Amino acid sequence: MTIAGENTEKSILIAAREVFIAKGFEGARMQEIADHAGINKALLHYYFRSKEKLFEAVFSEVASNLFPAMKQMLEADLQFKEKITMFIRIYLKALEENPFIPAFILNTLNTNPDSFLKYIKKAGLNPKLLQKQIDDEVARGIIRAIKAEHLMVNIIAMCIFPFAARPIVQNIFDMNNDEYQTYLESRQTEIVDFVLKSITV
User: 86 near 195, Cβ under 8 Å?
Assistant: no
Cα distance between residue 179 and residue 159, in whole Å: 18
Residue 115 exposure: Cα atoms within 13 Å on the Cβ side: 23
Give the amino acid at 51: K
Q: Return the residue of 31, 165, 181, 185 that touches its own copies, per CB under 8 A.
A: 165
Question: Of 14, 22, 30, 175, which lies in the binding site for DNA, with binding defined by CB under 7 A?
Answer: 30
- Binds 139, which of DNA, its own copies, none (CB < 5 to 8 A, cut-off by type)? none
Cα distance between residue 20 and residue 94, in whole Å: 19
Q: What is the dihedral of CA 12, 13, 19, 23, to 10 degrees?
A: 130
Residues 143-162 that bind its own copies (CB under 8 A): 144, 146-150, 152-154, 156-158, 160-162
Contact residues toward its own copies (CB under 8 A) are: 22-27, 100, 103-107, 109-111, 113-117, 120-121, 125, 127, 144, 146-150, 152-154, 156-158, 160-162, 164-169, 171-173, 183, 186-187, 190-191, 193-195, 197-199
Contact residues toward DNA (CB under 7 A) are: 1-5, 7-8, 28-31, 39-43, 45-47, 49-52
